[in-house]
Amino acid sequence: MPGGELLPFRPLDSSGILRSPRCLSVLGRAFPFKLKYQTCSSRPRPLLFPRRWRRELWVASIGGREKFLFEDEAKFGDRISDRKTEKLDQNRVRIKKNERESSVPLKRQRDGVSDGFQGVDDRRKSRHFLSKKRFDGEVDEEEGKDHFFFAKQRSEGGRGLSERRSALKVSGEQEKRDDDEVITKATGRSSAVENESHLSQTRFEQCSISPLSLKGVKAAGYERMTLVQEATLPLILEGKDVLAKAKTGTGKTLAFLLPAIEVISKLPPGDRDPKRPSINVLVVCPTRELASQAAAEANKLLKFHPSIGVQVVIGGTRLTLEQKRMQANPCQILVATPGRLKDHIKNTPGFATRLMGVKVIVLDEADQLLDMGFRKDIENIIAAVPKQRQTLLFSATVPDEVRQICHIAMESDYEFINTVEEGTEETHSQVRQTYLVAPLDNHFQILYSILTKHISEDADYKVIVFCTTAMVTKLVADLLSKLHLNIREIHSRKQQNYRTRVSEEFRQSKGLILVSSDVSARGVDYPDVTLVIQVGLPADREQYIHRLGRTGRTGKEGTGILILAPWEKFFLPSINDLPVTAAPLPPTDPNTRMKVERALSNVEMKNKGSAYQAWLGYYNSNKNISRDKTRLVALANEFSQSMGLHNPPAIPKLILRKMGLSNVPGLCTK
Ligand SMILES: Nc1ncnc2c1ncn2[C@@H]1O[C@H](COP(=O)(O)OP(=O)(O)OP(=O)(O)O)[C@@H](O)[C@H]1O
């Protein structure tokens, strides 16, 4: 978590009531969506923030002195929208209840909001199913075993494509045809530009999985196992806890789903009550898109297992709908995002009991889930499942710190499977990576030039442009639409049904650009992405790798471009072990510049103001930049100028105070 220790948000007093009308209107501007959710406009009256909300508002402290508002946009946005749907559900229940109990005095009905929250607090108090066990974060001395797993094909994988193609020729045309057929079946695309270094020589029928699972695997179009699947399957079937690291797009989802399904299919009949089956496999994913995708993959594999069901529970959808769905179609595999899972543990009758049947828990994108942003939720979830279980942690990046806290979830004798050979890159060799360094003022123009060039070169283009925050994503999407590019945007400030629709459209399409915040950075499997552009500083090395990993999946080729300002070059040493090379700047063309400037002048001022504030917040949470506040503001004002503004947008004084930016020269306040 950038920015250090987390402290409660200041303006809320201990009772959670915001009394100052001034604060309220300021907060109203800062978090309009939050106040909208509360169905309170910026009318100056006391506003009750429930206790659980107060935990969502943070002030971070650097070096114990400077305090500023910290917002993890993706997570925060998801949380707010979760609360919104949950609140709607509560209101519906309340209305029904009030309809039934028409004798309840009107005054009490009107006070329903606080009653409702009280009810939730009461429910929280009665969480007898949560153990008292605490995790103190101490490093376990006895680490698990490490397996740097190099299948015998690895050396082959290191070869260039042409060499690989001739190797295929030597080994016979028939084999090549077989392989082509497999890849075409699995991906719907020809293997002409595919590298197979992620695939092992082991076929699924060679491993000990049930005939029904094998049929499912074959029907999904998979023939040979990927390296990570080959390495982890026997260990998981043996009952081991496994931490697995494998490059992006190399089939980690199937690597944990397949053995998990096997575990369920081998459960004795006594453990399987068809009317109210317990949840046997719990998969936790950091984002909704990823959870839906994992559930879809599970459904594919379960095609011939009619008695095993899978359900997904994610924020942004109605809790009651999910409750009904789980009742109507009980499942043994549950895929969930942490926030919504916690809601079900608290609010869904019988859910906690069903969780006591968990035999396998999977943390997908484990390093992110075990990071500070999710850690508490994960600890609570782990406390809600039995101690006697198997734990699987998967990710493309496993920083040392994550290995040190693995014991939060796993037995000390867990196995560490690493399919990324030490000394080799964590990214794919078939993905060409470059970076450009240019003044902020030129970034929009450079982005536009790169996109138009790419589109002209590849009619089947499919591009993801990653931006630093949700509001900057919105701004860039607005700008590129005004430049008549075929754009979709996705970020945490969009409604879940919109996110699902756009995500599905992008999965199916070609000739489309997705402008995204980090909600698409990890795990999302969009086939055939041709180019990934990262504009501005990635949150860290891991995020750079995951974002880049949206292209070059399953051996396909791809390109990654990182656009930095000169003062962001400090990021480059953190990726200097990756094959990232400097690229020349696209030629400056006065016509393009004019076009971009004209489009910028048509972008709504409100969006520019929100982007400016979000930009300032994002870079203020980066230690390297926020150290010198005067410089930070000067840089933010460069960003403002790059949006075509002569004066920077005004920011509420309270927000600036929380950011630790009061009285910093160069800022406009309101
Ligand atoms: N054995 C296999 N043979 C061919 N394709 C496979 C195989 N296993 C998985 N795939 C395909 O590979 C693609 C990537 O899989 P998946 O999304 O699980 O990758 P990942 O390693 O989890 O990526 P990330 O690190 O980005 O989360 C999917 O489209 C999946 O269908």
**What is the percent of the chain with per-residue pLDDT over 70, rounded to a whole number?**
70
DSSP string, 336-363: E-HHHHHHHHHHSTTHHHHHTT--EEEE
Distance 254 CA to ligand 1 centre (A): 7
Predicted local distance difference test score (pLDDT) of residue 461: 98
C-alpha torsion sign, points 439, 443, 449, 455 = positive
Predicted local distance difference test score (pLDDT) of residue 372: 77
User: For residues 588 and 445, is the Cβ–Cβ distance under 8 A?
Assistant: yes
pLDDT tier, 129 (very low <50, low <70, confident <90, very high otherwise): very low
Distance 308 CA to ligand 1 centre (A): 22
Where is average pLDDT lowest: 153-162, 331-340, 359-368, 571-580? 153-162
> Would you tell me how many other CB atoms lie within 10 Å of the CB of residue 606?
9
Distance 144 CA to ligand 1 centre (A): 26
Residue with the smallest CA separation from ligand 1 atom 3 is 222
Pocket of ligand 1 from Cβ distances under 6 Å: 186, 222, 224-226, 229, 246, 248-254, 396, 523, 525, 549, 553-554
> Would you tell me how many other CB atoms lie within 10 Å of the CB of residue 566?
9
CA of 248, closest atom in ligand 1:
25
Distance 171 CA to ligand 1 centre (A): 26
Query: pLDDT higher for 306 or 144?
Result: 306
Distance 389 CA to ligand 1 centre (A): 25
Query: pLDDT higher for 39 or 579?
Result: 579
Distance 273 CA to ligand 1 centre (A): 32
SS3 at position 584: coil
d(CA 55, CA 75): 13
Tell me the average pLDDT across 89-114.
Answer: 41
CA atoms within 13 A on the CB side of 497: 3
Predicted local distance difference test score (pLDDT) of residue 272: 55
- Retrieve residue 247's tokens: 């490059």
- Retrieve residue 253's tokens: 């989802």
| pLDDT tens digits along 22-45 | 343 334 344 433 333 332 333 333
Q: What ipTM was assigned to the predicted interfaces of this complex? A: 0.99
pLDDT tier, 546 (very low <50, low <70, confident <90, very high otherwise): very high
pLDDT tier, 94 (very low <50, low <70, confident <90, very high otherwise): low
Predicted local distance difference test score (pLDDT) of residue 273: 60
Residue with the smallest CA separation from ligand 1 atom 4 is 222
Predicted local distance difference test score (pLDDT) of residue 35: 33
pTM of the model: 0.74
Q: Residue 168 above 90 pLDDT?
A: no
Residue with the smallest CA separation from ligand 1 atom 8 is 251
| pLDDT tens digits along 284-329 | 999 999 999 999 999 999 999 999 999 999 998 899 999 999 888 8
Where is average pLDDT lowest: 161-175, 373-387, 534-548, 580-594? 161-175
Distance 225 CA to ligand 1 centre (A): 10
Residue with the smallest CA separation from ligand 1 atom 29 is 525
d(CA 456, CA 216): 40
Tell me the average pLDDT across 461-474.
Answer: 98
Predicted local distance difference test score (pLDDT) of residue 358: 97
| pLDDT tens digits along 206-228 | 998 999 999 999 999 999 999 99
CA of 225, closest atom in ligand 1:
1
Predicted local distance difference test score (pLDDT) of residue 479: 98
Residue with the smallest CA separation from ligand 1 atom 14 is 249
Distance 251 CA to ligand 1 centre (A): 3
Q: Residue 136 above 50 pLDDT?
A: no
For a substitution probing ligand 1, which of 182, 209, 525 has the most ligand atoms within 8 Å of its CB? Answer: 525
Q: Residue 480 above 60 pLDDT?
A: yes
Predicted local distance difference test score (pLDDT) of residue 135: 24
Distance 628 CA to ligand 1 centre (A): 43
Output DSSP code: residue 313. Answer: E
Distance 60 CA to ligand 1 centre (A): 37
Helix axes 338-347, 319-328, angle to 10 degrees: 70
3-state SS, one letter per residue, for 419-459:
CCCCCCCCCCCCEEEEEEECCHHHHHHHHHHHHHHHHHHCC
CA of 222, closest atom in ligand 1:
3
d(CA 217, CA 613): 48
Query: pLDDT higher for 273 or 190?
Result: 273
Query: pLDDT higher for 535 or 371?
Result: 535
Distance 342 CA to ligand 1 centre (A): 28
For a substitution probing ligand 1, which of 196, 217, 553, 556 has the most ligand atoms within 8 Å of its CB? Answer: 553
Q: Exposure string (b/e) for 125-147, b if CB count within 10 Å is 16 or more?
A: eeeeeeeeeeeeeeeeeebbeeb
| pLDDT tens digits along 601-628 | 999 999 999 999 999 999 999 999 999 9
For a substitution probing ligand 1, which of 194, 250, 524 has the most ligand atoms within 8 Å of its CB? Answer: 250
Mean pLDDT estimate for the chain: 77
- Retrieve residue 255's tokens: 């690597």
